[in-house]
């Protein structure tokens, strides 16, 4: 009887599960509110984006529940095929199957339209976790640890950079480097990597005129508020007008074609306008709870693969959330990046919820205090 009791499947981290579901619920409500004007203008259906987000959330919930009941260690066995499929999908963007929109090729049409970069992010985390766990004793070495890791990071980030998506490139790069750091990379290698990354980022910014304009607009967005500073200025207007309690749900003014992608890249500013500082605070607290539980799970799991996988998933959510919030508050130059679990986007929501499903399964095997 004692043996059967010890082998009984443990409960998932309930705090993490509830926090994610609350974020998804808030996202559905805010996507509906912020997308109504554009949905009416383009599709004559104010529920257009809401219906798509509800479908993605339902499908994401299904995958999350399935994956939280599948032993995460199986992904170590199939890490390379998963990564290979993700790379192939990313490369297919540059074939006739790729779809160009707003000057960038980031979408793939295989009967359904989706963004392979989201799949590549999760595939890279899984593969890199398997690599680090297999090479755990050689991680500090240059030849067997740092160089192979940089090749993996370079391939993953390079494929996204080719899609002219610098924000996602930085997000994934930061995530993989965080995993590498936790795995035990040398500090001297970390400083060298930081220097090289800064040089590459400088080249990426200066090689494209529109990125340079974003830098100058960031320095003083109100100097050219009708052109390059438009997004930042309108975002600040939205957040500033919300005050402490907000204008009220559905009462945003900036969503009426002032803020581009108000239901996606700038949804946090609409939350600030409609729900105020308190609404923003609730979202940030929920994201911090996800970060906290992810760190605890990574620390309490004895398996190195599970530790690196939990670290990667948590770092991805944390870095992407930080960049999104920093952009809408004009703390960094404008770049298009979604707020995890909240912003509109079927592929993003589906993949993020699937990743959380894996993290929840890791929590089953971790030495957590369960009530």
Q: What is the pLDDT of residues 14-24, one digit of tens each?
A: 999 999 999 99
Given CA atoms 354, 358, 364, 369 in this order, what sign does their dihedral have? negative
Q: What is the pLDDT of residues 25-75, one digit of tens each?
A: 999 999 999 999 999 999 999 999 999 999 999 999 999 999 999 999 999
pLDDT band at 336 (very low <50, low <70, confident <90, very high): confident
327 near 335, Cβ under 8 Å?
yes
Measured CA angle at 37 (ends 283, 41), to 5 deg: 145
d(CA 312, CA 305): 11
pLDDT of residue 8: 62
119 near 87, Cβ under 8 Å?
no
User: What is the per-residue burial (b if ≥16 Cβ within 10 Å, else e) of 316-325?
Assistant: bbbbbbbbbb
pLDDT band at 137 (very low <50, low <70, confident <90, very high): confident
d(CA 333, CA 89): 29
Q: Give the residue from 352, 368, 369, 370 showing the smallest Cα distance to 67.
A: 352
- Whether residue 157 is predicted with pLDDT greater than 90 in this model: the reply is yes
d(CA 65, CA 63): 5
- Burial of 290 per CB tally in 10 Å (0-12, 13-18, 19+): buried
pLDDT band at 352 (very low <50, low <70, confident <90, very high): very high
Residue 227 lies in a domain: yes
% of the chain surpassing 70 pLDDT: 97
d(CA 218, CA 235): 13
367 near 353, Cβ under 8 Å?
no
- Whether residue 7 is predicted with pLDDT greater than 70 in this model: the reply is no
pLDDT band at 371 (very low <50, low <70, confident <90, very high): very low
Residue 239 lies in a domain: yes
| Strand, coil or helix: 98 | strand
Average pLDDT over residues 173-189: 93
Q: Give the residue from 313, 351, 287, 339 showing the smallest Cα distance to 59.
A: 351
Give the chain's radius of gyration (CA, Å): 21
pLDDT band at 261 (very low <50, low <70, confident <90, very high): confident
Q: 78 CB contacts (<8 Å, ≥6 apart)?
A: none
pLDDT of residue 328: 95
| Residue with the larger pLDDT of the pair 105 and 129 | 129
pLDDT of residue 207: 85
pLDDT band at 144 (very low <50, low <70, confident <90, very high): confident
116 near 89, Cβ under 8 Å?
yes
* Paired tokens of 189: 């290698």
d(CA 52, CA 55): 5
Given CA atoms 58, 323, 237, 244 in this order, what sign does their dihedral have? positive
Query: Left, alpha or beta for 248 (phi > 0: left; psi -120 to 50: alpha)?
Result: left
Mean pLDDT of the chain: 92
Average pLDDT over residues 227-233: 90
pLDDT band at 5 (very low <50, low <70, confident <90, very high): very low
For residue 174, CA distances in Å to 60, 201, 339 come to 25, 12, 16
pLDDT of residue 103: 66
Residue 228 lies in a domain: yes
Residue 367 lies in a domain: no
pLDDT of residue 290: 97
pLDDT band at 102 (very low <50, low <70, confident <90, very high): low
- Whether residue 227 is predicted with pLDDT greater than 90 in this model: the reply is no
| Residue with the larger pLDDT of the pair 371 and 163 | 163
pLDDT band at 6 (very low <50, low <70, confident <90, very high): very low
Q: Give the residue from 199, 169, 180, 195 showing the smallest Cα distance to 142.
A: 180
DSSP-derived secondary structure for 185-238: --HHHHHHHHHHHHHHHHHHHHTSHHHHHHHHHHH-GGGGTTTTTHHHHHHHHH
- Which range is most confident: 6-10, 66-70, 194-198? 66-70
- Whether residue 1 is predicted with pLDDT greater than 60 in this model: the reply is no
Residue 38 lies in a domain: no
Q: Which domain holds residue 227?
A: 71-290+302-339
pLDDT of residue 116: 92
- Whether residue 281 is predicted with pLDDT greater than 90 in this model: the reply is yes
| Strand, coil or helix: 53 | helix
pLDDT of residue 98: 87
Number of domains in the chain: 1
Residue 348 lies in a domain: no
% of the chain surpassing 90 pLDDT: 71
pLDDT of residue 4: 44
DSSP-derived secondary structure for 102-154: TTEEEEEESSSEE-HHHHHHHHHHHHHHHHHHHTTTTTTSIIIIIHHHHHHHH
Residue 117 lies in a domain: yes
Q: Give the residue from 34, 99, 105, 56 showing the smallest Cα distance to 265.
A: 34
69 near 364, Cβ under 8 Å?
no
Range in 68-77, 139-148, 313-322 the model is least confident about? 139-148
Residue 140 lies in a domain: yes
């Amino acid at each position: 009887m004692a043996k059967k009791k010890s082998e009984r499947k443990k409960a998932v981290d309930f705090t993490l599960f509830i926090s994610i579901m609350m974020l998804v619920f808030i996202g559905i409500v805010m996507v509906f509110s912020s997308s109504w004007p554009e949905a009416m203008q383009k599709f004559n259906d104010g529920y257009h984006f809401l219906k798509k987000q509800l479908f993605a959330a339902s499908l994401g919930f299904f995958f999350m529940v399935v994956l939280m009941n599948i032993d995460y260690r199986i992904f170590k066995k199939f890490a390379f095929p998963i990564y290979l499929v993700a790379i192939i999908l990313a490369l297919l963007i540059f074939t006739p199957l790729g779809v160009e929109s707003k000057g960038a090729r980031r979408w793939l049409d295989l009967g359904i339209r989706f963004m392979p970069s989201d799949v590549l992010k999760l595939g890279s985390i899984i593969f890199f976790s398997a690599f680090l766990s297999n090479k755990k004793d050689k991680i500090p070495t240059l030849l067997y640890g740092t160089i192979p890791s940089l090749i993996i990071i370079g391939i993953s980030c390079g494929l996204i950079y080719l899609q002219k998506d610098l924000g996602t490139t930085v997000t994934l790069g930061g995530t993989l480097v965080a995993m590498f750091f936790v795995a035990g990379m040398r500090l001297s290698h970390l400083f060298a990597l930081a220097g090289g990354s800064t040089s590459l980022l400088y080249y990426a910014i200066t090689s494209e005129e529109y990125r340079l304009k974003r830098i100058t607009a960031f320095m003083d967005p109100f100097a050219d508020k009708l052109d390059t500073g438009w997004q930042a200025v309108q975002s600040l207007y939205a957040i500033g007008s919300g005050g402490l309690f907000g204008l009220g749900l559905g009462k945003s003014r900036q969503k009426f074609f002032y803020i581009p992608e108000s239901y996606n890249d700038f949804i946090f500013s609409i939350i600030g306008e409609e729900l105020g500082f308190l609404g923003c605070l609730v979202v940030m607290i929920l994201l911090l709870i996800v970060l906290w539980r992810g760190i605890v799970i990574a620390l309490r799991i004895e398996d190195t693969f599970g530790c690196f996988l939990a670290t990667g998933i948590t770092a991805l959510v944390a870095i992407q959330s930080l960049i999104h919030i920093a952009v809408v508050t004009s703390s960094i130059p404008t770049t298009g990046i979604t707020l995890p679990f909240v912003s509109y986007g079927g592929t993003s929501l589906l993949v993020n919820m699937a990743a959380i499903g894996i993290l929840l399964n890791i929590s089953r095997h971790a030495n957590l205090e369960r009530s």
